[in-house]
Amino acid sequence: MAVRWRVTHAIKAGAAVVRPLKQYPGLNMTLRYDGDTLKAVEHELQVDESFGHADVVRKSHELLVTFWELLHYLRGLPISIERSSAVPLESSVANKSTGAVVAVFDALICHRMEMPREDILLDPPGRLLVWLRLANDARAGRDVDAIRNYYMIWEDMHGRPQEGKSPRAALELKHSRDFVSHGRVDNKEVQKFLKQELGRSITQFDPTDRAQAALVEKLRHQARDLVEDELAKVLQRGPQ
């Protein structure tokens, strides 16, 4: 027998929103605000009668994983859940709360976010959840890891960049990934790219070299701009 529950995810300190949306009917979600600050997400779901409170909370997080990942991306910081409480709507079982801990990276830039369209959450385009997770990890990670993540997203979206067919920025992203991912740089195009950028021949990445570290930081920002422009197009287009 299926039992209907309401799970309320209370957001620690809230999240600033542009043009708040009150509901996602297709996802059985209601959003609670204090002015323009998102304070809680209420999610109704049906689960087997054998589910306990903690099982229901875990199931809710599982069903809303794309929602949380997308808010993280749009906001620039993870949504920190202060507590999650589950209430059975068709039973006399007592209400309980389950705490949840989410890491927060204070060095990142937090934005006022515009809530995503429901059609994107109901039918996410492509491998959106994967791309968002990689992009979010890239923002919080080291320059080298960020470049690798951004390249994975681009290659997943468009395939391996090719000379004469791909945008110059995509080719530079590939060269950047090759530079920080291989023990020795043998590719002539990558060597040429590095010589143009550094003014000298490079055959191996040295993170202790200030000039190389500064270049990798610069390439990381270029990669972020390139990939986030592509993600913005995906979010604008919606389901295909």
Residue 153 has pLDDT above 50, yes or no: yes
pTM: 0.85
What is the model's pLDDT at position 135? 98
Task: Give CA 15 to chain center in angstroms.
Answer: 16
Q: Over the chain, what is the mean pLDDT?
A: 90
What is the model's pLDDT at position 91? 59
Q: What is the pLDDT of residues 48-89, one digit of tens each?
A: 999 999 999 999 999 999 999 999 999 999 999 999 999 999
Please name the residue that has the structure tokens 């997770």: 133
The answer to whether 72 and 33 are in contact (CB under 8 A) is no
Tokens found for residue 96: 């309980």
What is the model's pLDDT at position 240? 66
The answer to whether 145 and 137 are in contact (CB under 8 A) is yes
β-bridge mates for residue 31, sequence order: 41
Q: What is the pLDDT of residues 87-139, one digit of tens each?
A: 999 755 555 554 443 333 333 445 689 999 999 999 998 899 999 999 999 99
Rg of the Cα atoms in the chain: 22
